[in-house]
């Protein structure tokens, strides 16, 4: 009986998620994403290197942060609001690209987290059909990261790590899993100082 109730609850949860959310490819929404004309709901897109590269290059901001997003990592969940606050204070300089290597089954969890914090800017999920559905999410994320940031040591990058690309699409800084948030933010603050 207990198993039957759990099964019915999981079906209802899945059904309600399907009603609220549609999985979309970034390539089908490049114009809407680039012009920031998205619905006021979690905007989660499947992406690959080409889509992400196109969106980064279309950004008009001086710096583009490519952030390893995770709603499952406690450090990332704590740090993400701090990053958003920092970016709101410096929105004239920075554009944020949240990228995750999670399997598609985790998208409902990401959607719930985004709703909880009222964050409706895009989050990009690495296409598991192109980058492998088996193995570690950081392997998928690392494959895309390496195509943009060759100098990034993807073995040391985890949730809440990021790299920054300038207006010439050159990587200007990157972080790793072992750095504290103060160390990571100091890299962003250094970029601001160079623009004063």
Contacts of 23-32 spanning 24+ positions with Cβ under 8 A: 23/104, 23/107, 25/51, 25/127, 26/51, 26/52, 26/55, 26/122, 26/124, 27/51, 30/54, 30/55, 30/58
Structure tokens that stand for 60 in this block: 């008009």
- 3-state DSSP: the chain helix, strand, coil percent, rounded to 5? 50, 15, 35
Structure tokens that stand for 75 in this block: 């450090």
What's 157's domain CATH number? Answer: 3.40.30.10
Contacts of 15-21 spanning 24+ positions with Cβ under 8 A: 17/108, 17/111, 20/111, 21/107, 21/108, 21/111
Higher confidence at residue 147 or residue 74?
Answer: 74
Please write the tens of the pLDDT for every residue from 47-59.
888 898 899 999 9
* Predicted confidence band of residue 8 (pLDDT cuts 50, 70, 90): very low
Residue with tokens 């972080």, as numbered in its chain: 175
Total domains in the fold of the chain: 1
Percent of the chain predicted with pLDDT > 70: 84
Task: Name the CA dihedral angle for 114, 139, 46, 15, rounded to a multiple of 10 degrees.
Answer: -60
Please write the tens of the pLDDT for every residue from 110-153.
999 999 999 999 998 888 787 776 666 666 767 777 777 778 77
Return d(Cα 106, Cα 131) in angstroms, integer. Answer: 17
Q: Give one word for 113, left, alpha or beta, with left for phi > 0 and alpha for psi -120 to 50.
A: alpha
Three-state secondary-structure class, residue 137: helix
Give domain status of residue 38, yes or no.
yes
Give domain status of residue 92, yes or no.
yes
Please write the tens of the pLDDT for every residue from 152-170.
777 778 778 888 999 998 9
Give domain status of residue 13, yes or no.
no
Most confident stretch, 37-51, 80-94, 131-145? 80-94
Give domain status of residue 7, yes or no.
no
Looking at the predicted structure, is the pLDDT value of residue 7 above 50? no
Give domain status of residue 122, yes or no.
yes
Return d(Cα 133, Cα 128) in angstroms, integer. Answer: 5
Which domain does 152 fall in, by range?
A: 22-193
Which DSSP symbol is given to 178?
Answer: T
């Amino acid at each position: 009986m207990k198993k039957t109730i759990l099964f019915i609850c999981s079906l209802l949860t899945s059904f309600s998620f399907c009603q609220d959310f549609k999985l979309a490819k970034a390539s089908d929404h490049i114009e809407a994403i680039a012009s920031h004309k998205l619905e006021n709901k979690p905007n989660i897109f499947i992406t690959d290197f080409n889509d992400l590269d196109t969106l980064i290059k279309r950004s008009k901001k001086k710096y583009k942060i490519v952030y390893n997003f995770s709603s499952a990592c406690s450090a990332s969940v704590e740090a993400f609001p701090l990053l958003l606050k920092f970016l709101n204070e410096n929105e004239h300089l920075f554009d944020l690209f949240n990228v995750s290597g999670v399997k598609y089954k985790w998208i409902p969890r990401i959607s719930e987290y985004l709703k909880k914090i009222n964050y409706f800017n895009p989050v990009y999920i690495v296409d598991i059909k192109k980058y492998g559905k088996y193995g570690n999410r950081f392997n998928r994320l690392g494959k895309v990261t390496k195509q943009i940031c060759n100098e990034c040591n993807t073995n040391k990058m985890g949730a809440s790590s990021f790299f920054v690309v300038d207006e010439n699409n050159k990587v200007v800084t990157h972080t790793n899993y072992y750095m504290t948030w103060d160390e990571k933010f100091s890299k962003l603050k250094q970029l601001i100082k160079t623009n004063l």
